[in-house]
Structure 1
Amino acid sequence: MKKTSKPKNFFGKKNRLKLTTFLLLGVIIIGLASIVRWDIPASEVIKKHSYANSAFLPWKNSKIHYRRMGSGPSVVLIHGTSSSLHTWETWMDTLSKDFEVVALDLPGFGLTGPHPEGKYGIEDYSEAVFTLMDSLKIDQAAIAGNSLGGMIAWHMGQAHPDRVSQLILIDAVGFDRGDTTFTVLSLGKIPVIKEIFKYATPRFMIRNSLEDVYQNDSLITDELVDLYHDMVLREGNRKALVDRLNSPKTAKVKPDPQRLYMPILLMWGKTDRWVPLAHADSFQQSLPHAELKVYEAGHVPMEELGSLTAQDASIFLNTPENQPRTIFPQSDSLSVH
């Protein structure tokens, strides 16, 4: 009698393992597809988010995006990491009543896009700002900066005190106190993850990041999330961010009161998690003449409390004892220009 072969058991151990593997791969692929976002062409982002008075300065085979408003003594505004000159909208409207106000998108951010040479050190950023000032024939200006922009601001003042009349440092970076908080930017430093970071930046990640830097989450509108998301997705900006976060660290320079003698206003959000209020104390210890104002805000008080902080900045800049000095010591080897 002929033996009949047993039908294959497709749910046997080996087949179950294969099926499980394929299912897991499918879940991973679907998961990645749900968070991967491709770059948006620069022309598309520029068309959507440029202002009527936006201008672009040709620079090293690139173009620096900036806005210029008002007349009078010059004020230059420098944004922080993964931000743009849009962060200064209220400040520009307020300060331009008494001052010539200039804001720019730093290389690697906003509508400016990546640095053509991939350079993202503090000196490289300072050079870009000084180049813009030169092109606009601004010999001296008050410099205001938030976070990374604050660090650039005081480095500029320390390197060229003759060109910086006053400083406004808003939740500025500058002191390593060993209290670094893990943020979404920390992902850009982790091997493998940093490569995924160049492609996987879903909208919810941007919202979570904004909730991390704002104290009042009710101010985070869909339009604000879209703006930040579009700027991150602007072609080349994500790679530029990862490159900056992983750039070799240069020798640390501490604020020098002998060179940062100009009037200084420190503005800080009381609940800043990224650069806690204790950092303001460190600045005041190094720069005893600096004035400090603390706000019910997070890391970006000039966005959360735009009108209040802009008004305080205007009062500071207009106060007689805070006016620019007329005699300056010579810049030396600290020069970055």
Structure 2
Amino acid sequence: MSVRFRLPAVMAGIAAVFALCVMAGIAWNWAPDRPLPDLTQQWAPPPSRFIDVNGLSVHIRDEGMADDPVPVLLIHGTSSSLHTWEGWVSILKKDRRVISMDLPGFGLTGPNAAQDYSNAAYTRFILDLMDQLHIRKAVLAGNSLGGEIAWNVAVAAPQRVDKLILVDAAGYAFKPLSIPAGFQIARIPILSWFMDHTLPASMLEESVKDVYGNPEKVSPALLARYRAMTVRAGNRAALRKRIRTLNLGENAADIQRIHVPTLILWGGKDKLIPPENAAWFARDIAQSRLIMFDELGHVPQEEAPFVTAAAARIFLARDTR
């Protein structure tokens, strides 16, 4: 007995099975954008509020000593939100006014009308936010992208910056040891539809664990927060625009123009922005001090908030005038 297969029929069958697998994968990982009102009750309880900054409704928290003449502004990194600073805020607000916010394109603030997520746009945003809050001068503390924004503000408007705290900050051209999967996918145009409508739990978990020195610290609650901030309407499209326009080290020469007291905090297990970058900041900023946390990753303020905030608090208490 012999069996004869018709090649077109076999190929059609394979194509059908493949299509079913793709459809099943999409259905299993389906995660469309969620509108802001669906997220605010859980993720923006008091003291969260929204203020208008040049037509953009910005999610902020303004806590601590209201009469502090030089507040501390905390600036988060890519795909993060003000929640990453909650541990720091709980400590610093005891004797300082502490302001955290969701940057345009991230968190609950979401995309801006111009769809501009360049360093220059973020620098203007921080200065506009300070003007809106009637802040003449502030301490700027930033992680990753937030650190890059902080030092860019210090270069653009040195009279508005009292001190800097750079936490695993971007600034120089560097070669990552590992890139979170979500960032890699954001760079591939053909996958934009899938990125906007799906969010595999395994990919999210891998991406968050990738920026921790100790992945075991990544809890289900933490993953739920990152998921909520990712699916906020417009954030995934904004991330694609930000990632595709990156030009690492484009303004690195300006770092030597920084002349304010600067604390550099770094995770020794940072695989995204390698620890050698910390030494470069320390070399190029005359009034700087570097503290390396050997067991922490790219987001030390989130992974170990109390020990890192303690270092920041000591730095803030020093009279460096």
Match for residue 232 of structure 2 among 219, 230, 234: 234
Aligned pair in 2 of structure 1 residues 182, 90: CA closer, same or farther (>3 Å)?
A: closer
Deviation at 1:18, TM superposition (A): 2.2
Residues 135, 202 of structure 1: alpha-carbon distance in 2 compared, 3 angstrom cutoff = same
Corresponding position of 2:302 = 303
| Cα contact 2:176–2:272 (8 A) shared by 1 | no
Q: Is the 8 A contact 2:172 2:248 kept in 1?
A: no
Residues 141 and 166 in structure 1, CA contact (< 8 A), matched pair in contact too: yes
- Structure 2 counterpart of 1:319: 318
The alignment's TM-score, normalised by the length of structure 1, stands at 0.88
**Which one-letter code corresponds to 1:301 in the other structure?**
P
Using structure 2 for the length normalisation, give the TM-score. 0.92
Do 1:111 and 1:231's aligned partners in 2 also have CA atoms closer than 8 Å? yes
Identity of counterpart residues, as a percentage? Answer: 36
Could you tell me which of 84, 95, 98 is aligned with 2:95?
Answer: 98
Paired residue for 2:81, among 65, 84, 93? Answer: 84
Query: How far 1:199 moved relative to its partner?
Result: 2.2
| Change over 3 Å in CA distance of 1:26–1:171 after alignment to 2 | same
Please say if residues 57 and 132 of structure 1, whose CA atoms lie closer than 8 Å, have aligned partners that are also in contact.
Answer: no
- Paired letter, 1:271: K
Distance 1:151 1:140, change over 3 A: same
Tell me, which stretches of 5 or more residues in structure 2 are unaligned?
A: none
Paired residue for 2:162, among 149, 160, 165? 165
| Displacement over 6 Å in runs of 4+ | none
Amino acid at match of 1:164: V
SS of match in other structure, 2:252: coil
Q: Cα 1:41–1:258, aligned 2, differ >3 Å: closer, same or farther?
A: closer
Q: Secondary structure at the match of 2:233?
A: coil
Q: Is the 8 A contact 1:154 1:255 kept in 2?
A: no
Tell me what 1:260 maps to.
Answer: 258
129-138 or 187-196: bigger deviation: 187-196
CA distance in 1, matches of 2:4, 2:30: 35
Quote the offset at 1:13 in angstroms: 4.0
Tell whether the 8 Å contact from 2:52 to 2:58 is kept in structure 1 after alignment: yes
2:135 to 134, 138, 154: 138
Q: Secondary structure at the match of 1:168?
A: strand
| Cα separation, 2, equivalents of 1:200 and 1:290 | 43
Written as runs of structure 1 = structure 2, the 5 A alignment for 1:284-295 is 284-295=282-293
Larger Rg: 1
Q: What letter matches 1:70 in structure 2?
A: G
Of stretches 247-256 and 203-212 in structure 1, the one that deviates more from structure 2 is: 247-256
SS in 2 for 1:291: strand
Quote the RMSD (CA, aligned, Å).
2.0
Contact 1:256 1:286 in 2 (8 A): no
* Counterpart residue identity of residue 121, structure 2: D
Amino acid at match of 1:87: T
Cα displacement (A) at 1:253: 1.4
TM-superposed deviation, 1:151: 0.1
Q: Which residue identity lines up with residue 58 of structure 1 in the other structure?
A: D
Name the stretch that deviates more: 175-184 or 165-174.
175-184
How many angstroms apart in 2 are the aligned matches of 1:111 and 1:192?
Answer: 27
- 81-90 or 22-31, larger mean C-alpha shift: 22-31
Task: Provide the secondary structure at the position in 2 that maps to 1:208.
Answer: helix
For residues 34 and 99 of structure 1, what CA distance do their matches in structure 2 show? 46
Tell me if the contact between 1:255 and 1:287 (Cα under 8 Å) persists in the aligned partners. no
Structure 2 equivalent of residue 109 of structure 1: 106
Q: Which amino acid aligns with 1:279?
A: N
What's 1:335 paired with? Answer: none
Instruction: Kindly indicate which of the two structures has a greater share of residues assigned to helix.
Output: 2
| Partner residue, 1:26 | 20
The aligned residue for residue 128 of structure 1 is 125
SS at match of 1:68: strand
The structural deviation recorded for 1:168 is 0.2
The verdict on how the C-alpha distance between 1:318 and 1:164 changes in structure 2, with shifts beyond 3 A counting, is same
Deviation at 1:304, TM superposition (A): 1.0
Question: Matched residues in 2 for 1:39 and 1:241: separation?
Answer: 13
**1:22-64 per-position Cα deviation (integer Å, ceiling 9, x unaligned):** 1221112112222231111111111220021111111343201
